[in-house]
Structures are given as structure tokens and as C-alpha cells.
Chain A
Amino acid sequence: MKPGKLILASALLAMASVPAVQAEEAYLNYKSYCMQCHGMHGKGDGVNVPAMNVQPRDHSDNKYMMTRTNTDIYKAIKFGGPAVNKSVKMPAWGDTFTEEELQEMVGHIRTLCCEKELIRGVNFK
């Protein structure tokens, strides 16, 4: 491999690997904090759900999730359900996550609902 190509390749690799680490953190955060209600695979089927009188959102529900902007999702996580006219059963995680973690979590939820649209480059606002 020519030196030029090597530099280009390593630069690309560096660019690609940063989001990968973030994605892993967001996945782990989702598994740690959200999974208990939203389920291991984000289908709204968490272990606590049979005990709840409000059903958590199914994050793999593409049709519904496409009607939500990234701002809506961000607000729901940071300030809790009531901030987006939803249930108090969705707590506010603003004191738990950093600003960066909140942004990454929105990104992670998009991978659960809207992978095709992500690939197409849809602007979720």
C-alpha cells in the first residue's frame, strides 16, 4: 500500500471508529437504563411491562417513530414523558445522562426504528 493511501485509510478508520465507540456506549446505556421497560431489543416488551398500566413505546415501530423528530425524542429522554405530552411513567433522565450521552441515545433509538431511513440520509430534524 502506498503511503498516501495508508494515511487516507487510517484517517477513514479513525473517523469511523469514533462513532463506533459512541454507538457502543449508547447501546450499553440503552441496555442499562431503558431495557427494563422498553425491552432487550427495544420492542416495548421489557420485564417490568406486565406490572405497568401504560405501555412503553416500541422503538422498533417504524411507522410511529417516523412521526417523531429527533427533538421530540431528545425532550422525552431528558425531561420525561410529560414534556412531550406522554406518561409520567417515562422518567426524566436529564440528571443521569450527559448532553453527549443524550444525543447518542437519540442516535441509538434511530438505529432501532429507522435504519433504512438512516441509510437513505433522511433529516430527522
Chain B
Amino acid sequence: MKRFLLSMVAAVVISPVLASAGEDGPTILDTRCAYCHNLKGPAPQTIHDLWKRDAPDLFYAGNKFRREWLVSWLQKPVRIRPAGVNYLRTINSTPHQEGKDGKKYDVLWGAVLKPLVHETLTAPEAELVADSLMKLRAGDELVSGMMVDKSKTVTLDQGEVLIDKVYGCQSCHQIEPGYGGYTGPELYTAGRRLQPEFMLSYIKRPKNWDPKIWMPNGNVKPEDLQKIVNYLILLSKENFDEAR
């Protein structure tokens, strides 16, 4: 009897492993990703719906991500937004943190203070899922006509001036680990994560992708838009591992 029970337990434990070995990309997306991620669209249309979002929308993943980054991130997922996807859940006004001037500020709390909880895929699974994600292209129209002008180059210093002083992006986004605000996704990996055409289109008008998102339309001049995207690509080539 004991042996029977053991074999039953073993069957229950091992069978998902065996099954997952044979899963294709769309099946993995449906069974392991769709619970938190929106794979079909549309994006939240009201602020109430936006606050219900648990994870980034993926229905335009094929327009957004660079495939090679997806493959590596899915095997070793780490947090990209210091305050999480939904910062109303992760900001607390008490207890306060003390600033340099002795002033008190709101703090991050809860889940974002711990490592990201996310599915970790094996290398073959990550390849399959990346392939499936790259087929989700609901934003084709928004990226058509977007092209990076590589002649609009900037140095890291010039780019930082644009990001900090001219458009104020750094209030919410970090341009190196720990340097910048918390509520937006980190910018120092943006060039590795995102397709340049997506960056151009998203920065130009975030609302086109996500109608109620809290990133404002910065009314970025066309030339500066090109410079910012070239800067983000340049910035992502820096090695920030030491600073982490």
C-alpha cells in the first residue's frame, strides 16, 4: 500500500514536469502567463480598470520587446519597475523615510521590497514563449512609419540633460540603478529590452498604447525624440552590474 501511495504522489509531482516538457508556446502562455498578463487586449479604458492590472499587458509584446532580451529575461526574471506595475499598492505614507534635509517622504513597501515573483522558464521554454510573444502584434499600426534616425546621435551626458533637465523623465525613471525616481520602469535597460520603433511611438504618445497610463505626453520635439531613443540604446550598452 505504501509503495502504491508513494507512486501516486510521485505521479502527481512528476506529471506536470513531464507535461510541461511537451508544451508549446501558446499553451505555456495560456496556462502560465494569462492569469496575470493580458494577452488579448484591449488595454484598461478607465482608471478603475487600470488599478486592477497585475502585470504588464502583452497583447502587443511583438511590437514592444526585443526577442533576445525576452529569451534571457524569462529564464532569469528580475524587477524592471522599482515601484511595481501598480504603484498604488506599493506606496505607503507611513512610516516615512527621512531625506537628506530631514524631510519625510512616502516610501515603497510590500511586495516590491522583495525579489520579483514570476514564472521562471527553462531555455527551450523561453525560446518557445518568446516566439509566441513576438506574434502578438496588436500595435502594428502604431509603429508603422517609426524609424530611428541614427544620425541624431548624442553622448551620454547630452542624453542625460534631455532626460533630466529638458523633459524631466528622471523624476520617475532611473538612468542607472538607484539614480532617478521609482514609479516608472528603469531606463538603463530600455535599449536592451525594447524595439527602437516602440520607444519612439510610446514616448511620442503613451496614451496611444495605454489610454489611462500615468506617463504623460511630454510633447517631445521630433528631433529630441530621436536623440532620446539613440541615448537609451547607447545607455543600455553600459555595464551597470557593478552599480547594482
Residue ranges of A at the interface with B (Cβ–Cβ < 8 Å): 25, 28-29, 31-33, 35-37, 39-41, 45-53, 87-96
What chain A residues lie within 8 Å of B226 (beta carbons)? none
Using CB atoms, name the residue of chain B closest to A88. Answer: B168
B240 within 8 A of A: no
Using CB atoms, name the residue of chain A closest to B183. Answer: A36
- Listed residue (B50, B171, B218) with the most chain A CB atoms within 10 angstroms of its CB: B171
A93 to B212, CA, bound (A): 12
Q: Are A46 and B105 in contact (CB under 8 A)?
A: yes
Q: Are B106 and A40 in contact (CB under 8 A)?
A: yes
What chain A residues lie within 8 Å of B26 (beta carbons)? none
Extra pairs beyond A37-B171, A45-B103 (9, CB < 8 Å): A45-B96, A47-B106, A52-B181, A87-B168, A88-B166, A91-B218, A95-B217, A96-B214, A96-B217
Chain B, interface SS category: mixed
Using CB atoms, name the residue of chain A closest to B213. Answer: A96
Using CB atoms, name the residue of chain B closest to A96. Answer: B216
A105 CB → nearest B CB, Å? 12
Chain B: number of interface residues, binned into ranges: 35 or more
B87 CB → nearest A CB, Å? 7
A78 to B91, CA, bound (A): 25
- Contacts of B192-244 to chain A: CB distance below 8 A: 205, 207, 212, 214, 216-219
Q: Are B207 and A51 in contact (CB under 8 A)?
A: no
What chain A residues lie within 8 Å of B71 (beta carbons)? none
A38 to B103, CA, bound (A): 14
B99 within 8 A of A: yes
Q: Are A47 and B83 in contact (CB under 8 A)?
A: yes
B188 within 8 A of A: no
Q: Are A48 and B104 in contact (CB under 8 A)?
A: no
A4 CB → nearest B CB, Å? 38
Cβ-defined partner of B50 (8 Å) among A32, A87, A90: A32
What chain A residues lie within 8 Å of B207 (beta carbons)? 95-96
The contact string, 1 if C-beta is below 8 Å from chain A, for chain B 75-118, is 00000000100011001110011011001111110000000000
Cβ-defined partner of A46 (8 Å) among B100, B106, B218: B106
